[in-house]
Amino acid sequence: VSELADLYAVQLSDIAIAQSKHRLSHLPEIELHTSTKNDVAAITKSLAETVARGASAKKEINELEAAGHANDAAIARLNKQLKTVIAPREAEALQHEIATCSQQRSQLDDRELELMELVDLCDREEAQVSSQLAHAKQLDAAAAEKLAVAQREENQSLERLVQQRSAQALVVPASLLNTYEAKRKHRPDGAIAKLSGPTCGACHLDIAQGEISALRALPETERPECPHCGCFIFFEVGY
């Protein structure tokens, strides 16, 4: 009977260990940290997009400026040519060409203005998103720290339980412990149970009074088991 009392203590520790492990993998701090990590990733991505948009606009501005210089040179060349031609038809053709180039130049300028506004917008957005990112990183660091603390605490309590379980198991005969482990595979929290009145604490079925008396009367060498679920029945002293 005292062996079963010791075994019952082992099972209490095993249940507490399982609960502690479950808590470890379901800490609310895990979800919080995942959420702050996702925020940092999303804002980092958005910042990269803004920077890329600004860079691409700046690149296009450089290209437009090169095109503008080429355009200016073409207009200058055409104007110079215009001074040398005498035939009105040729002059008209050159004037037409100059007008086309000027129109192109004005389109280039309009586009460049548009792009400069875009660059300005991107710069402002970059500053704003950068400060958002800094804030998100702070929250993420705080969440990581909180998670580490919670994990450390739960791990410490788990370690204490594991040590306690080892000490408790030392006084239980190895063969009984093996049988218990085998029973636990089917019933993790009810390999050994107390009776609550006539009710088995593991399967919650009632055991007939006659059977209970027979179980109580078993010799020391035989261990009482629930006739329904097969768990060990542990009769507390005085019951």
Give contact residues for Zn ion (rule: CB under 5 A): 200, 202-203, 226, 228-229
Q: At what angle do helices 2-25 and 174-186 cross, to 10 degrees?
A: 50
Considering the complex, state which of residue 111 and residue 228 has its C-beta at the smaller distance from Zn ion: 228
The CA-to-CA distance between both ends of the chain, in Å, stands at 12
Considering the complex, state which of residue 101 and residue 200 has its C-beta at the smaller distance from Zn ion: 200
Considering the complex, state which of residue 32 and residue 229 has its C-beta at the smaller distance from Zn ion: 229
Considering the complex, state which of residue 80 and residue 222 has its C-beta at the smaller distance from Zn ion: 222
Query: Do residues 217 and 210 lie in contact, with contact meaning Cβ atoms separated by under 8 Å?
Result: no
Smallest gap from Cβ 200 to Zn ion, in A, equals 3
CA distance 159 to 117: 61
Considering the complex, state which of residue 15 and residue 162 has its C-beta at the smaller distance from Zn ion: 15
Smallest gap from Cβ 187 to Zn ion, in A, equals 9
Considering the complex, state which of residue 115 and residue 215 has its C-beta at the smaller distance from Zn ion: 215
Smallest gap from Cβ 224 to Zn ion, in A, equals 11
What is the DSSP annotation of 25-69? HT-HHHHHHHHHHHHHHHHHHHHHHHHHHHHHHHHHHHHHHHHHH
Smallest gap from Cβ 154 to Zn ion, in A, equals 32
| Half-sphere exposure in the Cβ direction for 222 (13 Å, CA) | 9
Smallest gap from Cβ 33 to Zn ion, in A, equals 42
Query: Do residues 119 and 58 lie in contact, with contact meaning Cβ atoms separated by under 8 Å?
Result: yes
Residue with token string 């506004």: 117
Smallest gap from Cβ 6 to Zn ion, in A, equals 20
CA distance 194 to 231: 10
CB neighbour list of residue 85: distance below 8 Å, 6 or more residues apart: 91, 94
Q: What is the DSSP letter of 231?
A: P
